[in-house]
């Protein structure tokens, strides 16, 4: 939760500075460099994970069902909520949902990829929505982990965390669901982590 609050504070600070001082250099190129760095970090974090070999060694095909259920459920309910959000197209809402809790990468991706079709201002608005929506998902998974586990079970607790089941929400999952869920949570988070750079651009291009 502390990390999410820091991210929100930095975002607000950026908005304030951007309103007061407009830089002369091309912000598009800067944000693209940040995006490339984030994409590199995704691959690096997966490849350097000390649990990767153990997870691959103990891999069972049925373990794929949980991340598939997370992705399918998230996209389905993102599409459903678009009925109430008349300003946004269904694919826009699905693109926001496909961040799966990865707020830093998904918000930048959406902002950059939606500029050609929505324009700079509207694309920035959608990117901001993606940032806040995915931060809320992470915070909900952290705060409500015991309640989700009590009502829906341990797998739902992992699913609610999305990509953060591999890092930020892992202690909460371990504490709430037990150590037996750790390998599943790690595999789930790593697979969701790899899906975000594929799903977000795909949905933004639709």
Specify the number of domains making up the chain.
1
pTM: predicted TM-score of the whole model, two decimal places: 0.79
Confidence of residue 62 (pLDDT cuts 50, 70, 90): confident
Q: Is 138 in contact with 168 (CB distance < 8 Å)? A: yes
Classify each residue of 97-122 as buried b or exposed e, where b means 16 or more C-beta atoms within 10 Å of its C-beta: bbbbbbbbbbbbbbbbbbbeebeeee
In the chain, the percentage of residues whose pLDDT exceeds 90 is: 47
| Better pLDDT: 11 or 103 | 103
| Better pLDDT: 191 or 18 | 191
Query: In terms of residue numbers, what domain contains 30?
Result: 2-205
Q: Is 4 in contact with 138 (CB distance < 8 Å)? A: yes
pLDDT digits (tens, 9 = 90+) for 118-176: 998 999 999 999 999 999 999 899 889 999 999 999 999 999 999 999 888 888 898 89
């Amino acid at each position: 939760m502390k990390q999410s609050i820091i991210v929100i504070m930095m975002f607000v600070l950026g908005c304030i500075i951007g309103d007061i001082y407009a830089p002369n250099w091309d912000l598009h190129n800067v944000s693209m460099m940040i995006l490339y760095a984030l994409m590199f970090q995704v691959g690096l974090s997966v490849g350097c994970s000390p649990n990767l070999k153990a997870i691959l060694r103990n891999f069972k095909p049925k373990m794929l069902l949980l991340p598939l259920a997370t992705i399918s459920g998230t996209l389905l309910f993102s599409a459903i909520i678009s009925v109430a959000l008349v300003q946004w197209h269904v694919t826009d809402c699905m693109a926001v949902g496909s961040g799966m809790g990865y707020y830093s990468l998904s918000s930048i991706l959406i902002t950059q990829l939606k500029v050609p079709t929505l324009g700079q201002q509207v694309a920035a608005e959608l990117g901001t929505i993606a940032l806040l929506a995915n931060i809320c998902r992470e915070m909900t998974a952290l705060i409500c982990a015991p309640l989700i586990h009590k009502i829906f079970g341990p797998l739902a607790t992992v699913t609610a965390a999305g990509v953060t089941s591999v890092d930020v929400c892992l202690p909460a999952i371990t504490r709430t669901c037990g150590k037996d869920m750790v390998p599943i949570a790690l595999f789930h988070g790593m697979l969701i982590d790899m899906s975000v750079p594929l799903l977000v651009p795909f949905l933004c291009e639709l």
